[in-house]
Structure 1
């Protein structure tokens, strides 16, 4: 049964992503590895304690856990996966621009913005049980990646590009491959670079982290989501035709890579602050 679930998950996070699926497995692991290399010694020690006993006790090793449990919840085996399914994204209304209205866009804190803030508070609270803080760390590693994927701050009416069907014809699929716009951003933009995780991390770390676009926000996840929303609405992201080729991937791959770089740096900063010694 477990083998079936992981096969299902792999399919869901690559060619035909399920609603609100995040970056592909590769994308989430790249964000996690970028962050891991920027942790303070204190944060590294705390992460090691929290992840002790995990099959792969590294940030990259738990980067897709939130998607794993959601996949299990679809066959009725993980209540937390079902409860957290709305925490992977935030929907914006078409025609309303990138205006965040919490009561409308994140009712009850059930969106990626609310989830990041809630899980960060749990992680930082050393009075909470270790198991809760471990889950909070796993959620944060995943959700910080999610909020930087532009389709995770997408339109409600097409489920973040999941309903926008496309046919990709390019080097990766010369005969054509059916996918969705969300799937292109999840998978094809990174896969088409032809790099494994270590090579991709090394390449991204050769570029400096982009400067923050404005003054520090008192609610950083909101700022990150609004950045993604503005990118999602940029000219050409929704292609005028339902067929795309390598020119689309070449145009927007640098955008996706910048988002990964930012996500890694911001995740590291969030974890360093949350796991700093208590004062």
Structure 2
């Protein structure tokens, strides 16, 4: 039964196992890609299909976690792109009303952050003068980074590495706050991807800010610093999941909508230089 939710969450938590942090995890990035796939215009879909076919792929979900696998597949590119997955916007010394305000020179020096990565890789994707293989790589980055930028911990505090250094306990196991927001709370549903995608698409339609990575990061940052996100107790209980899982699911849906809209824009009138 798909809709057995919070009444059994406490029991479900016992099955959640902490895994290495990979920004939403495979499931989260896959769901974002699947939402985006449903939003592609015919023109964007045609170009996406042509690029994916270069490596025998058919769906965006197949490349959604590629950027997280670079550490093993291409260590050099993995190192060069490591900072493109996040941005440290939150500053603990600032009050909430003054926090989470993007300043390029302060927060994205030498364009080495997720905001600039989406912009730069988007331009490469739209540039039809580039070899198709380079445009496919750009597509892989865009699909992944639009997901990353909507994960609140990827736009939060730098002093604790986006919650990676904050150890928590749940279901009798050790983890950290970042991993909990990446995938731990998602897995507490125990749904397959088909049911989860249906659930996300049934959520109220979010307000979109297409082609605005700066605003996406600022919004994620505000969620990260909101009261209650950093738990008072290290023991994570069902009440914490019940409070914050809806925020995660909203961000997944929003990321998918933004990704679809961005791809439609980039591939509507591809640039040629």
Instruction: For 1:62-211, list aligned pairs within 5 A.
Output: 62-70=63-71, 72=72, 77-92=74-89, 93-96=91-94, 97-169=99-171, 176-211=172-207
- Map of 1:273 onto structure 2: 265
Using the TM superposition, give the Cα deviation of residue 136 of structure 1 relative to its aligned residue in structure 2, in angstroms.
0.5
Q: What SS does the corresponding residue of 2:53 show, helix, strand or coil?
A: coil
- More helix by percentage: 2
Bigger relative contact order, structure 1 or 2 (CA pairs below 8 A, ≥6 apart): 2
The answer as to 2:7 corresponding to 1:15 is no
Alignment check: 8 A CA contact 1:209 1:265 kept: no
Instruction: State the Cα deviation string for residues 113-160 of structure 1 (Å, max 9, x = none).
Output: 010000000011111111111001000110000000000001110000
- Map of 1:10 onto structure 2: none
Using the TM superposition, give the Cα deviation of residue 278 of structure 1 relative to its aligned residue in structure 2, in angstroms.
4.7
Q: Give the aligned length.
A: 250
User: Which structure 1 residue ranges, 4+ long, deviate > 4 Å from structure 2?
Assistant: none
Distance 1:278 1:220 in 2: 18
Distance 1:55 1:46 in 2: 14
- Map of 2:229 onto structure 1: 237
Alignment check: 8 A CA contact 1:164 1:181 kept: yes
Unaligned ranges ≥5, structure 2: 1-16
- Map of 1:11 onto structure 2: none
TM-score computed with the length of structure 2 as normaliser: 0.87
TM-score computed with the length of structure 1 as normaliser: 0.86
Instruction: State the Cα deviation string for residues 18-73 of structure 1 (Å, max 9, x = none).
Output: 4xx31011000000000001101111110111111425431000000000113x17
- Map of 1:46 onto structure 2: 47
